[in-house]
C-alpha cells in the first residue's frame, strides 16, 4: 500500500472511533483488510473514504462506518455460525469471517459471486462457504445460524430468514423501501418470538428475489 493510502486508512479508523465504533476487534480487522482489493482500479484512491462505492452489477460496497457498525451490532464471537445475505464485493464477508467460526454467504449476481470466490481463495479464507442463489430464502440446508446479516434493504423482514436463526440468535438488516426511510434493525429470537430494535438510518440497494446470471 502506498503512503497516501496508509494515511487515509489511519484517518478512516480515527473517523470510525469518533462515530462510535468501540469494538477493538472490528477496528483492527477494518485496519488490516485492504479495501482497495474490492473495488475497481479507477476508484483505488477513494478506497478509504468513509463512503459507499459502486461495484459490478449495479451494486455497492458499503460505507466503512456501516460495515463496522453492522458488524459490531451483530455481536459475533469465534464460536458463531453466520449467514450473510448478499456477498457483493466480498468485503463485508471477509470482515465477518475474521470474527466467526463459519460464514455461509449467498449472492444472487453471478459476476459478483465469481469475483468474491476468487478473493476468498486469494486470502485463503477456508471458513467461508459460498452459494449462488436467492438470498431471500436463506440456506435451509445449513440452518440454524447463530447470526444472520442482510446487506440489502427489504421492505419487511423475511420470515424465512427469521426462522433460520437459533434461539437466542441475532439478525442485522436494513429495512425500508427505496422511496422512504430505511433503518438498520437488530432482531433477536426468543423461541417463537422475536424482538426488533431500530438502530440507524441508512440507504441500501434493495433486497430482491431470484438470481441474475449476467451483469
In a domain, 186, yes or no: yes
pLDDT tens digits for range 109-135: 999 999 999 999 999 999 999 999 999
In a domain, 121, yes or no: yes
Residue 57 annotated in active site: no
**144: CATH:** 3.40.50.150
In a domain, 37, yes or no: no
What's the total number of domains in the chain?
1
Mean pLDDT of the chain: 94
At 9, phi and psi to the nearest 5? -65, -45
pLDDT at 202 over 70: yes
Strands 60-61, 53-54: pairing is: antiparallel
* pLDDT on residue 118: 95
* pLDDT on residue 215: 54
Packed helices 64-74 and 24-32: angle between N→C axes, nearest 10 degrees: 140
pLDDT at 214 over 80: no
86 to 20, 25, 146: CA distances (angstroms): 25, 23, 17
pLDDT tens digits for range 30-84: 999 999 999 999 999 999 999 999 999 889 999 999 999 999 999 999 999 999 9
In a domain, 188, yes or no: yes
In a domain, 22, yes or no: no
* pLDDT on residue 1: 64
* pLDDT on residue 19: 97
Residue whose C-alpha is closest to residue 106's, from 148, 73, 65, 54: 148
57, 62, 89, 97: the catalytic one is 62
Amino acid at each position: 500500500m502506498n503512503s497516501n493510502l496508509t494515511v487515509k486508512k489511519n484517518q478512516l479508523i480515527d473517523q470510525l472511533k469518533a462515530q462510535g465504533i468501540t469494538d477493538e476487534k472490528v477496528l483492527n480487522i477494518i485496519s488490516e483488510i485492504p479495501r482497495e482489493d474490492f473495488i475497481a482500479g479507477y476508484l483505488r484512491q477513494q478506497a478509504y473514504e468513509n463512503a459507499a462505492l459502486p461495484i459490478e452489477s449495479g451494486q455497492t460496497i458499503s460505507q466503512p462506518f456501516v460495515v463496522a457498525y453492522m458488524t459490531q451490532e451483530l455481536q459475533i464471537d469465534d464460536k458463531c455460525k453466520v449467514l450473510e445475505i448478499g456477498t457483493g464485493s466480498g468485503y463485508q464477508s471477509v470482515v465477518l469471517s475474521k470474527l466467526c467460526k463459519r460464514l455461509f454467504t449467498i449472492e444472487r449476481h453471478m459476476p459478483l459471486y465469481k469475483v468474491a470466490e476468487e478473493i476468498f481463495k486469494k486470502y485463503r479464507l477456508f471458513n467461508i462457504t459460498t452459494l449462488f442463489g436467492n438470498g431471500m430464502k436463506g440456506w435451509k440446508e445449513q440452518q440454524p445460524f447463530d447470526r444472520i446479516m442482510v446487506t440489502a434493504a427489504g421492505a419487511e423482514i423475511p420470515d424465512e430468514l427469521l426462522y433460520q436463526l437459533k434461539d437466542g440468535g441475532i439478525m442485522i438488516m436494513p429495512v425500508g423501501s427505496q422511496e422512504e426511510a430505511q433503518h438498520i434493525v437488530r432482531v433477536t429470537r426468543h423461541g417463537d418470538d422475536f424482538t426488533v430494535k431500530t438502530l440507524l438510518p441508512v440507504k441500501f440497494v434493495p433486497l430482491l428475489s431470484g438470481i441474475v446470471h449476467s451483469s
